[in-house]
Amino acid sequence: MSTRIVMKLRVAESVATTPEVVRLTFVHPQRPELPAWEAGAHVDLRLPDGRTRQYSLCGDPADRSRYVLAIKREDAGRGGSLWTHANLTPGAVAHVSHPRNNFGLAPGARRHILIGGGIGVTPLAAMARSLAARGADYTLHLCARSAGQAPLLAELQALCGDRLRCWFSADGPRFDPAILGAPEDGVHLYACGPQRLTDAVQATLGRAGWPAERVHVEHFAPIDDADFKPEPFDALIASTGEVVHVPADTSLLEVLRRRGFAMPSSCEIGVCGSCECGYRDGTVIHRDVVLPLVRRQDRMMPCVSRARVNVTLEL
């Protein structure tokens, strides 16, 4: 379930950019312009069974006539990309939400370092287009196994020129975040890609003294915590004084819905940020990958996050 507005868009073009990645262009069948967005934003693509998948917009934010997505076929995934590759051919109609941005460029930054691993380069491609258009200082590190498996490579080469640095592990060294060295004033870093890459970036830069608020990471996979054992807890609703019990096998989001709260949601796996709500007076076990550390003191994602014993919700 989602409160985000969903549009029916037509697939105008479908181009394979690697053997596994298709670049899809969507337009509105009647309107010349789509809702505005900024680099780093994603949309929800709704599947026939009602579930959604989140994909970053990788086109030019200044071009309101189209949305462009690059989608990798994940043979061992949850099925969304396989359906997309098989069905979203030119002329097909897809249900696409208005964009949402959890991964925007930092305003006022002096320089931007973009690090994309594989299909994780998609939000960074939009960032590079924005930064290039405004003449900003940036470098894009593109990590892939080989040139043939690097999504959007030709267009990024044309766009970025010598601001693009490619790291193809089949041909040479892997990207090592240690090359970024110590933090410099006004420099922000953005990373998106496989968890081993984003974990290495965060750990290495943390050791090098980079402030967490200048290292921005986007995830599209849920947290990997198979050993987590959910416990029951109680949630007090601040506005009404009502207490709701959350059993171990049910999410807080689900319990709130059953009690009549109109909670927005989209991914329901802690990656999109749609269900965010406020809390106080409790210890929350954050299990999402979207909420920045600096906001975890009083905000949570009830689709996956839980509390120890009890919590008060700002609802």
| Nearest by Cα to 67 from 136, 150, 8, 154 | 8
Contact 175, 167 (CB under 8 A): yes
Binding-site member from 303, 307, 313, 315 for ligand FES (CB under 6 A): 303
- Segment interacting with ligand FES, rule: CB under 6 A, options 122-130, 143-151, 227-235, 265-273: 265-273
The alpha carbon of 300 is separated from its chain's Cα centroid by a whole number of angstroms, namely 17
Checking DSSP bridges between strand 277-280 and strand 310-313, what pairing results, if any? Answer: antiparallel
Residue 126 CB partners (closer than 8 Å, separation 6+): 39, 40, 41, 56, 57, 58, 59, 60, 61
Residue 160 CB partners (closer than 8 Å, separation 6+): 128, 132, 140
Note whether 301 binds ligand FES by CB under 6 A: yes
Binding-site member from 127, 156, 252, 267 for ligand FES (CB under 6 A): 267
Contact 67, 9 (CB under 8 A): yes
Binding-site member from 57, 266, 306, 313 for ligand FES (CB under 6 A): 266
Per the structure block, which two tokens stand in for 6?
């969903």
Per-residue interface string for the shown chain with ligand FES, residues 221-260, x marking contact by CB under 6 A = ----------------------------------------
Binding-site member from 288, 300, 306, 315 for ligand FES (CB under 6 A): 288
Judged by beta carbon, residue 92 or residue 223, the one nearer ligand FES is 223
Note whether 56 binds ligand FES by CB under 6 A: no
Judged by beta carbon, residue 41 or residue 189, the one nearer ligand FES is 41
CA distance 229 to 309: 14
Note whether 52 binds ligand FES by CB under 6 A: no
Q: Interaction with ligand FES in 114-173: which residues (CB under 6 A)?
A: none
Contact positions toward ligand FES, by CB under 6 A?
265-268, 270-275, 288, 290, 301, 303
